Amino acid sequence: MKKIEEYVRSIPDFPEPGIIFRDVTSILQDADGLKLAIDSMQDCLKDVDVDVIVGAESRGFIFGMPIAYNLHKPFVLVRKAGKLPCETIQRSYDLEYGTATIEMHKDSIRPGQKVVIIDDLIATGGTIEAAAKMVEELGGEVVKIVFLMELAGLKGREKLADYDVESVISYDGK
């Protein structure tokens, strides 16, 4: 059986020279790779007491939804601003050039709920830090954050130092 790393396509010099792009689509396009990715991420939760799975747009939806389904837990969307139809809370965070804003429904997390956040990749950590702060603002407790891949060279874990963070694959570079 192949290891999850073998399903990841690495593309040198994208989007700019010196960067190695770790392509998640090569995992999604292979049934065995997709199953291994979901199972590996879900294994990170085997001893975690969780009430709700949260996924960040958009690849957090891809990986978080099947985990929520398998665990028979509700799934909550974190989306880009302006995409959710009901009353929301928002949080902005810094990008390399500028800022971005994400939001979630105000009624999506109840006080005291134990929340796991799922995403495909941790780079600088800004998106998931913002998502975690929104969960806490609604009274939830972030009990774990799970990523499929981590670009350790970008030090995103430092922003998430207050949380239990686990990555299935970690790459030293950027």
Positions annotated as catalytic residues are 59, 96
CB atoms within 10 A of CB 124: 18
Q: Which among 104, 84, 102 has a CA at the least distance from the CA of 92?
A: 102
Give yes or no for a contact between 34 and 27, defined as CB atoms under 8 angstroms apart.
Answer: yes
Q: Which among 40, 39, 66 has a CA at the least distance from the CA of 55?
A: 66
Give yes or no for a contact between 64 and 54, defined as CB atoms under 8 angstroms apart.
Answer: yes
Give yes or no for a contact between 163 and 122, defined as CB atoms under 8 angstroms apart.
Answer: no
CA 151 → CA 120, 147, 171, distances in Å? 11, 10, 5
Give yes or no for a contact between 111 and 146, defined as CB atoms under 8 angstroms apart.
Answer: no
